[in-house]
Amino acid sequence: METIWGQDSCEFKPERWITEKNMIRHEPSYKFMSFNAGPRTCIGRQVAFTQMKAIGATILYNYNFEMVKDHVVAPNVSIILYMKHGLKVRVTSRWPLLGGIGD
């Protein structure tokens, strides 16, 4: 990974995807090894992206997210907004269980 993304490749640095003009930085697809690139690009790539979007939407539809009490929310000074101490949330189901094992 370091040969492609540099010494800080394992660090969470969302600003690496933003240009000096605050635009999204384009990276060639050959740098993303999961799907390869060029004439040998994975034929399931678009299916995988669609599945990821569907999973994200399903999680948001089925669960409530609320801030953990007394968690300090402080933004980190950066081009991209992210929290200095993370963003701790409590996740609960939106739907009550309807007759499960042990009922």
Average pLDDT per consecutive 10 residues, the chain (103 residues; last block may be shorter)? 79 85 84 78 90 96 93 81 86 79 55
At residue 4, the pLDDT reads 77
Cβ partners under 8 Å of residue 7, min gap 6: none
At residue 100, the pLDDT reads 58
Cβ partners under 8 Å of residue 69, min gap 6: none
At residue 93, the pLDDT reads 92
At residue 101, the pLDDT reads 59
At residue 99, the pLDDT reads 60
Judge if pTM exceeds 0.85. no
Kindly state the DSSP code that residue 68 receives in the 8-state scheme.
P
Q: How far is CA 23 from CA 45, 87, 101, in A?
A: 25, 25, 51
